[in-house]
Amino acid sequence: MKVKLSLFRKIFIFSIFIVVFTISVSYIMNVFFLDKFLINRKKNAILMIKEVAKQKLYDPVEFATYVENIRDNEGIDISLMDEVRLNLARNLQNMPSPVNQGMLNRYGNRNRPQRMPQQNWETGRFHMMQLPNTNITLLFYNESIPDVGLMSLRTSLSVIRAHKTEINLFNIIITGIGILVSMGIARIFSKKITKNIEKLNSVARKISVLDFTEKSRISSDDEIGELSRSIDIMSDNLALSIENLRTFASDASHELKTPITVINTHAQGLIGGLAKTEAERMKYYRAIAKKSKEMNDIIGNLLTISRLSSPGIQLRTERADLLELLKESCEKYENLELEKDLVWDVRLTENTEISCDARLFRIALDNVVQNALKYAVEESAIRVYRDGETFVFENETQGTFPEKLDKLWEPFARGENAGEKHEDGNGLGLSIVRKIFELSGFSCDIAVRDNLFMFSFGKK
């Protein structure tokens, strides 16, 4: 059976493992490599001391003082032996007699009565020797100096071994203390992390059931804090989006209800034989066709807004000539232009290239042109000009507008003059225009001054 561990236990066990692993590696390194490391450092120290001693060799007082200081501070003995005593010592140690041993003690090193193996007299190399019947190990280095004799440097390695025992004991104590301390710290740290994660999990569960009332508000400056802020922002955005969606769905159902009712009523009238003459039937047919077109426009615009609101939408940005796009849009609504005897006064001559997704920009421009033609006063002019870096569409209009013109950007919002004149439309055009311009990196604005309706847009 698979054991399920909580995140708290996983973090706790992992923290303890890291501490134990680190201390274990340190202990293994001490056991296998500490001796070699310390001996190597002693060898380097002997070589450095040897060079300094050679420089002080020809000043007996300074040399003697230096030898004494090195013995006290570093535990390294320095001795000199001339060639006569050196040869005598080498010969005597091959003649095992009490007299020879006494002469060796007299002419050799008085502090070292043991026999020195022959290879330990070799110069320029390090030698180690275990003293008989003791646990003392000596490290030698000899160097032959012209006109002086042999300089011998030696130190005991017993201190290293004694220290190694103490170090191992100290490591064992530190291991126990480290594990206990790390258990306490790991417990506190793990609790803090898991507490924040539990809070995030609680917020996420409520978001999953569309409850956006709870916020995590974790103030830490690490990744969990960033995740907390991201979840709170996501919660706010989702709440706003869902509210907008509900409002939008309510408005859409209200707008579709009227044409559906009209179509249903006229269809029932045709079925029930209310239309007696061909003229009456044609009237019913035209009403059904008109309302069907309205529904089709509403649904098409809703799909366009849905597509524009999709986070995965990708723009195909290219260079396009605004003047050419405007001409194409004007040609689409030429019949409306002729019906109201309107004139286009386009004052764009140069520098009309813009960077945009031409396919989407045509949709926005079609809505702008259509609105200008719909609500312009008959036999008037629609002016298009450039004000600095901003393009302006201006037409004469009659009627009243909301106190806050920003409401016209909202879906299904229309000015009162649209209802008064029974103009076709569903109030989605400006909403689509704004979304397309924002996606394309343009800002747009509307204003009304002295019966002039002005729509403007420009690069952000």
Residue among 305, 457, 430, 411 at smallest CA distance from 366: 430
CATH number for 223-309 (one of 1.10.290.10, 1.10.287.130, 3.30.465.10, 3.30.70.360): it is 1.10.287.130
Q: What angle do CA 285, 286, 292 make, to 5 degrees?
A: 90
- Nearest-Å Rg of the Cα atoms of the chain is 49
Confidence of residue 113 (pLDDT cuts 50, 70, 90): very low
DSSP β-bridge partners for residue 390: 387, 458
pLDDT of residue 9: 67
Residue with the larger pLDDT of the pair 91 and 287: 287
Q: What is the pLDDT of residues 369-422, one digit of tens each?
A: 988 888 888 889 999 998 888 999 999 887 667 766 777 877 666 555 444 444
Q: What is the pLDDT of residues 235-250, one digit of tens each?
A: 888 887 777 677 667 7
Place of tokens 């996501």: 234
pLDDT of residue 422: 45
pLDDT of residue 3: 45
CA dist 339 and 378 (Å) reads: 9
Model's pTM, two decimal places?
0.47
Taking phi over 0 as left and psi of -120 to 50 as alpha, with beta for the rest, 75 belongs to left
Question: Contact at 8 Å (CB) between 357 and 397?
Answer: no
Question: Contact at 8 Å (CB) between 15 and 190?
Answer: yes
CA dist 415 and 405 (Å) reads: 9
Six-digit token string for 182: 């790390």
Indicate the pairing of strand 318-321 with strand 452-459.
unpaired
Question: Contact at 8 Å (CB) between 126 and 145?
Answer: no
* pLDDT over 70, % of the chain: 78
Residue with the larger pLDDT of the pair 1 and 228: 228
Residues in the chain, how many?
460
Residue 75 CA neighbour count, 13 Å, CB half:
10
Give, in words, the CATH class of 7-82+114-162.
alpha beta
Fold of the domain built from segment(s) 318-459:
Heat Shock Protein 90 (3.30.565)
Determine the 3-state secondary structure of 215 from DSSP: coil
Q: What is the pLDDT of residues 5-52, one digit of tens each?
A: 565 666 777 777 777 777 777 777 777 777 788 888 888 989 999 899
Q: Over 70: is that where the pLDDT of 136 sits? A: yes
CA dist 140 and 136 (Å) reads: 13
pLDDT of residue 10: 67
Q: Over 70: is that where the pLDDT of 60 sits? A: yes
SS (H, E, C) 25-38: HHHHHHHHHHHHHH
pLDDT of residue 97: 42
Question: Contact at 8 Å (CB) between 177 and 19?
Answer: no
Same fold, 223-309 and 318-459: no
Q: Where are the domains of the chain?
A: 7-82+114-162, 223-309, 318-459
Q: Over 60: is that where the pLDDT of 360 sits? A: yes
pLDDT of residue 48: 92
Residue 123 CB partners (closer than 8 Å, separation 6+): 142, 143, 144, 150
Indicate the pairing of strand 343-346 with strand 137-145.
unpaired
Determine the 3-state secondary structure of 347 from DSSP: coil
Residue 63 CB partners (closer than 8 Å, separation 6+): 53, 56, 57
Q: What is the pLDDT of residues 258-306, one digit of tens each?
A: 788 888 888 888 888 888 888 888 988 888 888 888 788 777 777 776 6
Name the H helices within 56-97. Answer: 60-74, 83-92
Question: Contact at 8 Å (CB) between 252 and 298?
Answer: yes
pLDDT of residue 384: 92
CA dist 453 and 418 (Å) reads: 13
**Average pLDDT score over residue span 104-133:** 59
Q: Over 60: is that where the pLDDT of 193 sits? A: yes
Residue 235 CA neighbour count, 13 Å, CB half:
23
Six-digit token string for 453: 């309706």
pLDDT of residue 5: 56
